[in-house]
A and B are shown apart, each in its own frame.
Chain A
Amino acid sequence: MSNDFEAAARPALADSQLRANMRHATHTIRDKRARVVAELDDWEQLREAGRRIKDRTMRHLHVHLATLEESVVRAGGQVHWARDAGEANRIVGELIASTGANEVVKVKSMATDEIGLNAALEGRGITAIETDLAELIVQLSHDRSSHILVPAIHRNRGEIRELFRRELPGTAGLTDEPAQLAEAARRHLRRKFLSARVAISGANFAVAETGTICVVESEGNGRMCTTLPHTLITVMGIEKVLPRFADLGVMLQLLPRSSTAERMNPYSSLWTGVTPGDGPRAFHLVLLDAGRSATLADQIGREALNCIRCSACLNVCPVYERTGGHAYESTYPGPIGAILTPQLSEFRSGTSLPWASSLCGACYEVCPVKIDIPTILVHLRGRVTREVPNSGDPGEAQAMRMLARVFASRSRYERAQRVARAISRPFVRDGRIARRLPGPLARWQTVRDLPAPAPETFREWWRERERAERRKAERP
C-alpha cells in the first residue's frame, strides 16, 4: 500500500534531538495526567457521562445546531454556515475586510488550523497573529504544529530561546528560563492585543440552549482576544455543540485533567452573543462542516467526532512518542488524528494513518469520552481497503486472499505447514532463518531474527501422543 506515514516518519525516527524532546515531553504530561486523574474516585463515571453526552448530541446534531443558531442570534450574534474550508475562509475573510482591519489576533484554534485560515487571510493581505505561546513559536519559526495542545512539543527551551532572539526585538539577553521566554512573548503580544480590532477564536464547546461559547486556556491570551477587540469571530466545527449548559459541568472536569493535567485550567472564557458596553460589539459564529456530516454517516467511525481535543491519546501513544506529530501530515496527529484525518477529508488524505498504530489500546484507556480508537482504526483499515482505489498493495491483497483459503481448509493448512518447514529447512541455523528473505519478511529481518517453523508442529505432536496412548491401551 502507499504508506505515506511510514515515509514521513523516517526522518523523525532518525532525529535524536526530536526523539529526546518527544520522549521527555510525552512522559512528563503522561505521568502528570495519571496523577491528577487518580485523585478522582468518580473518574470512570465522569468518562461514561462524557461519552453519553457526546453520543446523545451526535444522534440529533441537526436539532442542537438549529437551537444553537437561534440562541446566538437571540443574544445579538450572527451565525454563518460553512460547508467546507474554502467557504469558511471566504466568510471569515469578508467579515474582517468589512471592518477595514488588516491585522487580527488569534486564540489557539484547531478548526482554523484545519482549514488553513492564516494562509487564506494572507492571500487577502490580512496578517493573523497567533497569541498562544506555542502557536506563536510555530508561527515565528514557519514550522508546523506537531501536537493538538502543545503545538511546539517537538522544540526544547534552548531552541525557543534562539528563535525569540532572532525574531523578537529587544531579546538579546534572553536565557532559556521558561518564565523569561514567556515574558518575552508577553511583551511582544501585549502591543498586538491593544491594537487589534478583530479577534478570531475556535471553540471548545458551544451550548445550544443558551448560545454560550466556551474557550478554555492556560495563558490568558484567549481572554485578551475575546474581550479587547471590537469584533470577535469564532470558527467552530459543528461537532462541538453541547445541548445543555449543565453538560459543561462534566466536560470542564474531563478536559483539563486529560489535557494539561490540571485540576482546573486557569482561564475558562464563556460569552453569549454581545453585551452592550462590555467586550466585542460584534460577534460572528462560523459553523464548519468540512467532512463532519459525512463522518456522522459512518456508524462506527462517527465516534471520532466525540473528541474534545484533549490530546491525552497523543501523550500515551507509543507511535506518536517516537515519530512526533509531523509524520501524520495533518492538523490532527496521533491516534485521534489517525481516525479523524481520513474521515474529515472524506478519504482524500491520511489514508495510511489507520495503519500507523500497533493497536496497543493505550489511547482508548485514557480517552476522557471513551472513544474506542483501536476499533475505529480497524474499521477504517477495512474502509480504506475496500473503498479507496489503489490504496492497497495488490501483492498484499493477493496474499491475504491466499492465506484465507489456506486457513479455510484443514488439509490445505496442514500442507502449508509442511511446505513452509520444507522450504525453510536449508536456511535454518539454531532455530533461526539465517538468510535474508524477500517481500515483507525482509522488513521483519531488518532488526529482528525470524524463527524457523518448528521441526514438529503442535498438531503433529498431539497426534503422535494420541497414537502412543492408543498403542499403550491396546497392549495391556
Chain B
Amino acid sequence: MRIALFATCLGDTLFPGAAIATVRVLERLGHSVAFPQEQTCCGQMHSNSGYEAQARGLARRFVATFGSDEFDAVVAPSGSCAAMVRDQYPRLAASSGDDQLTNAVAGLTPRVFELSQLLVNELGIEDVGAYYPHRVTYHPTCHSLRLLHVGDAPLRLLRAVRGIDLIELGEAESCCGFGGTFAVKNADTSAAMLTDKLRAILDTGAEVCTALDSSCLMQIGGGLSRQRAGVRTVHLAEILASQEDQ
C-alpha cells in the first residue's frame, strides 16, 4: 500500500518522534510511505475556536495536498486530527457552497485514518513485531474514542507487543482536560480534570502513559513533568516502532 503521512503541525514541530515511528512501523510492514511536503495544519484549532473561514482555507489546502489518487490511504498519528478531517471537513465543505470542495472531501475522507485504525481495521494487523519491556498504561483519547470509534484497536496492538506490562487505567474514558484552547481559556477547569487523570495514571504504577494523540500527551506529560512524577508519556506509534535490537 502507498500511504501518505500527515505528521500534523504539532507532531512535526514539537513531537516528531511519533511521526518518525509511524514511518518505521509502516515500512517494516512492507508499505511505502510518502510525506507530501506542502502539508501544514488540518485547521482544527481554527475550527474549534470559531474561525470557520480560516479552517475552511486549511481544509482546502489539506485536500489539495492529500487528494491525489496515488495514495491508497492517508495516516495521521493523531485521533483528533484524523477526526477533524473525517468529521468536520464534510460540514465545512457543505457550508461553503463549493460543490468541487464537497466532492473532493467526500472522495478523500474515507481514506484518512488514525494509525491504530489503519493497522487493525484496514490492514488487519495486530502484531507489528514490537518489543517494549516497560510497565505501560493506555489513555483512550476522546476524539479517537467518540469521533473515530477506534474501540479496542490500540489495546489489541499493545497486547501483541512483546515484553510489555500493560495495566488498565481507572476511569480511562474521562477526558484529560486538554481540549485545544480550552486548556488555556478555562485553565482552572482543565487543571482540575488533569489532576484526576494524573491521579488515575499514578494509581496504576505504570512508568509510561501512552495514547494516540500527542496533544493529549502534551497535557498529561506536561502535568507529570511539572510534578516530577517520574512517569513519562510515549505515543503509541513509538511503542509499536520499538524493537529488541534497539
Contact = CB atoms under 8 A, between A and B. Distances in A.
Interface of A: 1, 3, 5-6, 9-10, 13, 19, 318-319, 322-323, 355-362, 364-365, 375, 378, 381-386, 392, 396-397, 400-401, 403-404, 406-408, 410, 413, 417, 420, 432, 440-441, 443-444, 446-454, 456-459, 461-462
A447 B226 contact: yes
A459 B91 CA distance: 30
Contacts of B182: 355, 357-359
Given A319-B189, A359-B180, A458 B16 contact: yes
Given A357-B179, A404-B54, A407-B61, 6 more contacts: A355-B186, A400-B46, A410-B38, A417-B13, A432-B225, A461-B16
A334 B172 CA distance: 21
Nearest to B35: A462
Given A404-B51, A451-B14, A458-B20, A360 B179 contact: yes
A114 to B, nearest CB: 25
22 contacts: A9-B189, A13-B188, A19-B192, A323-B189, A355-B186, A358-B179, A358-B182, A360-B146, A361-B142, A378-B88, A392-B50, A401-B51, A410-B37, A410-B38, A413-B40, A420-B13, A444-B184, A444-B222, A449-B225, A449-B226, A458-B7, A459-B12
Interface of A, secondary structure class, is: helix
A182 to B, nearest CB: 31
B109 to A, nearest CB: 16
B122 to A, nearest CB: 23
B126 interface: no
Interface string B155-186: 00000000000000000011101111111111
Contacts, number: 188
Nearest to A444: B184
Contacts of B177: 318, 358
Contacts of B71: none
B48 interface: yes
B154 interface: no
Contact of B183 (A382, A408, A417, A444): A444
Contacts of B12: 417, 457-459
Given A359-B48, A375-B91, A454 B187 contact: no
Contacts of B47: 378
B57 A404 contact: yes
A407 B178 CA distance: 22
Contacts of B219: 448
B58 interface: yes
Contacts of B14: 451-454
A448 B35 contact: no
Which of B178, B189, B192, B218 has the most chain A CB atoms closer than 10 A to its own CB? B189
A360 B46 CA distance: 17
Contacts of A432: 225
Contacts of A359: 48, 142-143, 179-180, 182
